[in-house]
Structure 1
Amino acid sequence: MLQLLLDQLGELPGLRTRRMFGEYCVYLDDKPVAFVCDDLLYVKPTPAGEALMQPPVWGRFYDKAKPHLLVSPERWDEREWLRTLLQATAAALPAPRAPATQRRRARGRDQP
């Protein structure tokens, strides 16, 4: 199912996936925007994403996870909407933090 999702997203700039917890995390511009778990897409909740998904459908990819916007495979065929949803989510999320080693170097604590 991951390959189907990636085919739908096409050549979206900055798109990559990474295996995580036995499932996959979807990144856009190095921001984790969604998770693919049990053949469902869970998009990080943002006001921009909620506005595009009316009415929003919520789900959790495991019991103690925070609710995420749930996109079932039936909606994956809506290619432009799906791309817009992930782009709007990425735009609404803060920039990723630098790895700890880079932060220490920037503060002058870990000289090479």
Structure 2
Amino acid sequence: MASSQEFVQYAADQSSGAGRITYRKMFGEYGMYCDGKIFALVCDDQFFIKITNAGKRLAPGLTETPPYEGAKPYFLIEDLDDRDFLTEFITATCSELPMPKPRNKRKSNDTVPKRRHQNDF
């Protein structure tokens, strides 16, 4: 079951105290970013945050479970109503996450050599 747009937007709104929150549809679910770092997944209308040492220190009792079969475990955040906790938790988590590697720019079609036609010989 895919996540609803309303739930994803609510999770983003509740997380907004931690920084600039954006999200992207990924494989039928959503990846959530804070200031360019992916820190969470939204799967089946559930909010999962990457596990870090900072997260373990702040909330040692949080459930750790994979968001989908075959995935690494994430923290399952069941209470999205506590914005202060989310802000502190996401800020601490993101401070331990690396910035994403820059993506290679696609080459334009102008750099591809033109094929010779049989009549060019």
Q: TM-score range by the shorter chain?
A: 0.7 to 0.9
Please identify the structure whose Cα radius of gyration is greater: 2
Q: Does residue 93 of the first structure (1) align with residue 97 of the second (2)?
A: yes
- Offset of residue 3 of structure 1: 2.0
Task: Note the aligned Cα RMSD (angstroms).
Answer: 1.7
Q: Look up the match of 2:39.
A: 33
- Offset of residue 100 of structure 1: 2.6
Alpha-carbon separation, structure 1, partners of 2:14 and 2:21 = 12
- Offset of residue 57 of structure 1: 0.9
1:6-36: per-residue Cα shift (whole Å, max 9, x none)? 2322464321111111111110121110001
What is the letter of the counterpart of residue 85 of structure 1?
A: F
Distance 1:6-1:22 versus aligned 2 partners, 3 A rule = same
Q: Which stretch shows the higher mean deviation, 11-20 or 54-63?
A: 11-20
Q: Does residue 61 of the first structure (1) align with residue 67 of the second (2)?
A: yes
The residue correspondences of 1:12-27 to structure 2 (distance < 5 A) are 12-27=18-33
Alpha-carbon separation, structure 1, partners of 2:84 and 2:24 = 23
Alpha-carbon separation, structure 2, partners of 1:81 and 1:11 = 10
Q: Does residue 48 of the first structure (1) align with residue 17 of the second (2)?
A: no
How many residue pairs align between the two structures? 100
Asked if the contact 2:40–2:50 (Cα under 8 Å) also holds between the matched residues in 1, the reply is: yes
Q: Which runs of 4+ in 1 moved over 2 A?
A: 9-14
What TM-score results when the alignment is normalised by the length of structure 1? Answer: 0.80
